[in-house]
Structure 1
Amino acid sequence: MKLEHVKSTPSFVILNKYLLWLLVIQMMTALAYYGYVPLIPQMVKEFSLNNTQIGWMTSAVFLGSSIIAIPSGMITDRFGARKSLFAFCLLLVFVIFSFSISNSYFVILVLLFLLGTGYGGITPGTNKSIMENFDVHNRGTAMGLKQMGVSLGSTLGSLLLPLIANQWGWRIGILSIAVLLVLVCLFHFKVLDEREDYHKQTNVLKNIKDITKNKKLMKIIAIITFFIWVQLSVMTYLVLYLHESVHYSLSFSLFCLALLQIGGALGRACWGVISDRFFNRNRGVIIALIGLISGVLVLILGMLSGEIPEVIIAFLSLCLGITTQGWNGMFVLMISEVVKREQIGLASGVGLATVYAGAIFGTPLSGWIIDFSGNFEAMWMICGVAIFIIGGLTICLKLDTNLND
């Protein structure tokens, strides 16, 4: 039985039970995926890590996500979102439990790779669920709200995990995530027992050929590769920059990381609503606008000094979240809208696999720039100029072609 599309007001979309559960899944898996970030300072002390090694931790996560992205898209298209989401959540439980007892940097890298593998199957599943259950008029809003779970999960980790780690150690903080994921797995089928997944047999090779020939999809992927480089660089190095270079307290720097994630949650929700209500669902214009604003804000970040009032730094962190961390909903919606419905899972996988290159190579590159130059400012300048230029170029490209109206 094919699921009926939801065509209604934004308030109904927000209260939709199916969407709320997708939001929970996205939030809890993102908590697992990004949970190591606020714990990096403690790991640096325990394992004596430099900035390049920190960058490779992020690369390991995204390498796993990149490798599994295309197979997970195929799995989602073949078996449906409900079953695939459960399987990948279960894999995350195993990895997080193992992470909590790890005792070497190499083991952590391996587990972070597996963590990325588990999380790599979440986005294709949740994307397909949104595209199959929501009408084009509310799809941007629904996708934005669903993607808001990524930032909410990261924010929850930024606020709570350092407190748990300071009291009982970072391993207990990681273990608490595993417990929450177990609850998600236990309730997954019960919450969705009224729904039936819709899927059918498809020609995988033909779909891959069609996707690689989709010029709009390839343009979107190329643009977002730069966006994710800047996104992960800001997320990974913000705390270290504010604490070590600008000399704010560690607690305030972690608070700014939380504000960054809160801004990301707001951005992912708001950009979708703005696109649906004010830009006639023109997603490309929104991406260009985000790129331009992000470039300016990152350049400002690179010019900070310890004399600037904390309230201004906090506001800047929030704005950086809305922009550098808030574009993901638009991206996953765009790659889902420019392909046929039966190709959504696979297209999401292909898009994510390619885009993750920006995280795999970009974050260590940012770490290398910091180590080579001896300061964070050079890295922020390079990132800011790059994303501003990409945002400007995006204005010239016509990226919107909706095949799923």
Structure 2
Amino acid sequence: MGRFRVGGHALPSWPTCRLAGYLAALMMVQAMAMQTYGALAPFIRTDLGVSASTMGLVAAAPYVGTAAAAFVSGGWVDRHHARTTVLLTGLGIAASLLIAAGFSTVTTVILGLALAGVSRSAIPPLSDRLGYEGAPLADRGFVFGVKQTGTPIGSALAAMTLPPLASAGLGWQGALATTAAVVAGATVALRHGPDSAAPARRTVHDGAAGVARGGPDDDQWAGDTGTEDVRAAVATKLPLVRQLATLIAISAALGVFMSSAMTFLTLYLVDDRGLAPVEAARWFALFGLGGGVGRIACGWLSDRAFRGHRGLALATSAAGGGMIAIMLGVAADPLIATTGALTMLIFGFFAQGWVGVIRLWGTELAGSGRSGRAGGLLLGSMMLGSLTGPPVFGWLVDTAGGYSTSWTVMGTLALAASAAVLVAQHRQRRRPPSDHDTSR
């Protein structure tokens, strides 16, 4: 049966949409567990009577755990069946949340959330591997974009459900235990994933063409394709880490940028633009909505408009986010007052749209058998950037006495990352294909 077409483009098939939905569900479940702190922070602080600095350690714990484990969890993903990884990570997250809830001390809360981060670190690389190996070449960007929307959806679910549970008499411990039960149940339900669940054997063409299981299918794009970029990587015979070094650095830089925006945007709207907290929260919700749309749109555009050239979609997203960040630092009050809501929507679109595309580009560079490892490296670098960005942004706010310098610095960083992407892609396209690449 032929695929439906709109405007000359074939829509993703039902199996492709099913794969994307499954991966989004995996990401949603782990995001719910990672965002328990943000939703329950007021209850934990009141009950345990700890300082703001201690709460900062609690907030950082799951991300430190993820960053510490991500650089090795990708290798596990490449070597083991997906069902094994899903069960071990999901049940590990649930057990870690029970540790955090069971002893009611700040030490065990930090320990439990850190262990949850360690367990969670295998899920994003696993989703990268399954999306890379299971999706058709011409629909990979769409699949990666959809799966990355699971993260903001899971965060929103945690924010909407956990505080009411804690307020209803369960307390933060009961809310954490409920989350653990939900994660465990969802893990059992999701253990049967797509057919491409067994580790793939790497072929000589995989890293070059960025196509799972035996080389590229150029017929999926008529004419020039973005696989030219990744074919050139094997021609240089560079080690995997060196091939991905530029993307790892870009991932860290954009992690600094995105985490700073997500942490301080609401405070900026209240402190610098004079919005009421409730109104600022609404604008922040638009930022999140734009981010969800941007992740899907940038992935789809990398498939269709940019014909597989992932770097062009990545550079566009980073540049758009950087320019809007700089604008926030210099915009006059009337501009924010009249177009602020729309600005937040567009800002979220560009500032978060790159997340799926950069992960896809990395897995295509690595190829089958190494896609999980590449996903782990990119996840770890982004987590390190996410841990670095907010403290630096806050220090700049305190030092400069306002937000203008902070937004300008972060916007410039995003623009520099965009330029680095374009340079890297240009260099790859100029390299001749390998004599051993007979897959054309």
Structures share fold, TM-score greater than 0.5: yes
Determine the structure 2 residue equivalent to 1:17: 18
Structure 2: which amino acid aligns with 1:139?
Answer: R
Distance 1:173 1:377 in 2: 39
Distance 2:286 2:383 in 1: 24
Matched, 1:213 2:242: yes
Structure 1: which amino acid aligns with 2:20?
Answer: L
Determine the structure 1 residue equivalent to 2:52: 49
Determine the structure 1 residue equivalent to 2:213: none
Show the 5 A alignment for 1:384-399: 384-398=411-425
Distance 1:18 1:222 in 2: 29
State the aligned residue count.
389
Determine the structure 1 residue equivalent to 2:95: 94
1:174 to 1:247, Cα distance in 2 relative to 1, 3 A: farther
1:293 is matched with which residue: 303, 307, 320? 320
Distance 1:368 1:107 in 2: 29
Kept after mapping to 2: 8 A contact 1:47/1:104: no
Give the secondary-structure state (helix, strand or coil) at the position aligned to 1:325.
helix
* Bigger mean CA deviation after superposition, 333-342 or 113-122: 113-122
Distance 2:410 2:123 in 1: 28
Determine the structure 1 residue equivalent to 2:181: 179
1:255 to 1:365, Cα distance in 2 relative to 1, 3 A: same
Determine the structure 2 residue equivalent to 1:257: 284
Task: Kindly provide the CA deviation profile for residues 50-74 of structure 1, in whole angstroms up to 9, marking residues without a partner as x.
Answer: 6xx6765554333211221132112
Kept after mapping to 1: 8 A contact 2:37/2:59: no
Give the secondary-structure state (helix, strand or coil) at the position aligned to 1:258.
helix
Matched, 1:316 2:318: no
* Bigger mean CA deviation after superposition, 379-388 or 94-103: 94-103
1:242 is matched with which residue: 262, 269, 288? 269
Query: Which TM-score applies when normalising by structure 2?
Result: 0.77
Determine the structure 2 residue equivalent to 1:197: 197
Task: Kindly provide the CA deviation profile for residues 141-197 of structure 1, in whole angstroms up to 9, marking residues without a partner as x.
Answer: 1111111211222233344445556666655554443332122123123x43x8473
Distance 2:329 2:385 in 1: 21
Kept after mapping to 1: 8 A contact 2:148/2:355: yes
Task: Kindly provide the CA deviation profile for residues 225-254 of structure 1, in whole angstroms up to 9, marking residues without a partner as x.
Answer: 110111111112223333344443333333
Distance 1:95 1:351 in 2: 24
Determine the structure 2 residue equivalent to 1:3: none
TM superposition shift of 1:280: 1.0
* Bigger mean CA deviation after superposition, 297-306 or 149-158: 297-306
* Bigger mean CA deviation after superposition, 362-371 or 78-87: 362-371
Query: Which TM-score applies when normalising by structure 1?
Result: 0.83
Kept after mapping to 2: 8 A contact 1:27/1:153: yes
Give 5+ residue unaligned stretches, structure 1. 1-5
RCO comparison, higher one (Cα < 8 Å, 6+): 1
* Bigger mean CA deviation after superposition, 293-302 or 261-270: 293-302
Distance 2:411 2:120 in 1: 28
1:375 to 1:159, Cα distance in 2 relative to 1, 3 A: farther
Determine the structure 2 residue equivalent to 1:229: 256
Kept after mapping to 2: 8 A contact 1:159/1:255: no
Distance 1:344 1:98 in 2: 32
RMSD: 3.4
| Fraction of identical pairs, as percent | 23
Kept after mapping to 2: 8 A contact 1:295/1:387: yes
Kept after mapping to 2: 8 A contact 1:154/1:261: no
Matched, 1:267 2:294: yes
Structure 1: which amino acid aligns with 2:198?
Answer: Y
Kept after mapping to 1: 8 A contact 2:12/2:139: no
* Bigger mean CA deviation after superposition, 85-94 or 374-383: 374-383
* Bigger mean CA deviation after superposition, 344-353 or 166-175: 166-175
Task: Kindly provide the CA deviation profile for residues 251-306 of structure 1, in whole angstroms up to 9, marking residues without a partner as x.
Answer: 33333333222222111111111111111111111111111111122123335677
Structure 1: which amino acid aligns with 2:52?
Answer: L
* Bigger mean CA deviation after superposition, 281-290 or 25-34: 25-34
Structure 1: which amino acid aligns with 2:284?
Answer: L
Kept after mapping to 1: 8 A contact 2:19/2:131: no
Task: Kindly provide the CA deviation profile for residues 72-97 of structure 1, in whole angstroms up to 9, marking residues without a partner as x.
Answer: 11211111222112211111112233
Distance 1:33 1:311 in 2: 35
Structure 2: which amino acid aligns with 1:69?
Answer: A
Structure 2: which amino acid aligns with 1:121?
Answer: A
Determine the structure 1 residue equivalent to 2:138: 137
Structure 1: which amino acid aligns with 2:287?
Answer: L
Structure 1: which amino acid aligns with 2:183?
Answer: L
* Bigger mean CA deviation after superposition, 178-187 or 150-159: 150-159
Distance 1:318 1:166 in 2: 31
2:306 is matched with which residue: 271, 279, 287? 279
Distance 1:140 1:301 in 2: 30
Show the 5 A alignment for 1:335-346: 335-346=362-373
Kept after mapping to 2: 8 A contact 1:76/1:84: yes
Distance 2:363 2:186 in 1: 26
Distance 1:315 1:250 in 2: 18
Structure 1: which amino acid aligns with 2:190?
Answer: H
Larger Rg: 2
1:64 to 1:286, Cα distance in 2 relative to 1, 3 A: same
Structure 2: which amino acid aligns with 1:210?
Answer: P
Determine the structure 2 residue equivalent to 1:364: 391
Structure 2: which amino acid aligns with 1:179?
Answer: A
TM superposition shift of 1:330: 0.3
